[in-house]
Structure 1
Amino acid sequence: EAMACYTPVIATGTDGSAEQIIDGVNGLLVPQQSEEAEVIRQYQQALTTFFTQPAEQYQQMQLNSRHSAEQYLLGQVVNRLQDIYQRVVS
């Protein structure tokens, strides 16, 4: 949902996140850690990356985020389902 609103995200590199986020393109992936202090440090570092990059780079990440999320927007999903249903019925 954040990406659909042009917002790059920061997430741990779990299977689900890695499926949707391209590190440095539409968000940032941080390594999944068992130590809480290390997770916090990784997120702080990712936030610093967001805040210190040139505005043009962040704006490109925003556009990339939206583009990545478009396939999951309700209208797109409904259209795909309708196509599937029509093929099944035909």
Structure 2
Amino acid sequence: MTDRAFMMRLQGYGLTTAEIHYYRPDAPSLLQLFVWQEYDLAPDFPVLFDFIDHWNREIEAALHSIRIAHDQLVRPTEWRAARGELRLD
């Protein structure tokens, strides 16, 4: 069985982390931090924006700011054929 995350990385997805700052509904003058992490496609981030749409529809807390970090973990330069064999006797 193939790992879902590995297959997504091969399709161009990279690990995306979003720091979501929002106002607490019970104390609107305070900011709370929520960290979200998922595999997503840069620069459009469809998975993240689906989550933000869900947040706006279903969660009472108003968003203040979002900071996004993305890293495509599997790069073409990391894949290369190895020739030969090394034996340690």
- TM above 0.5: no
Q: TM-score, normalised by structure 2?
A: 0.30
Q: Is the helix fraction higher in 1 or 2? A: 1
The structure with the largest alpha-carbon Rg is 2
> Structure 1-normalised TM-score?
0.30
Higher strand share: 2
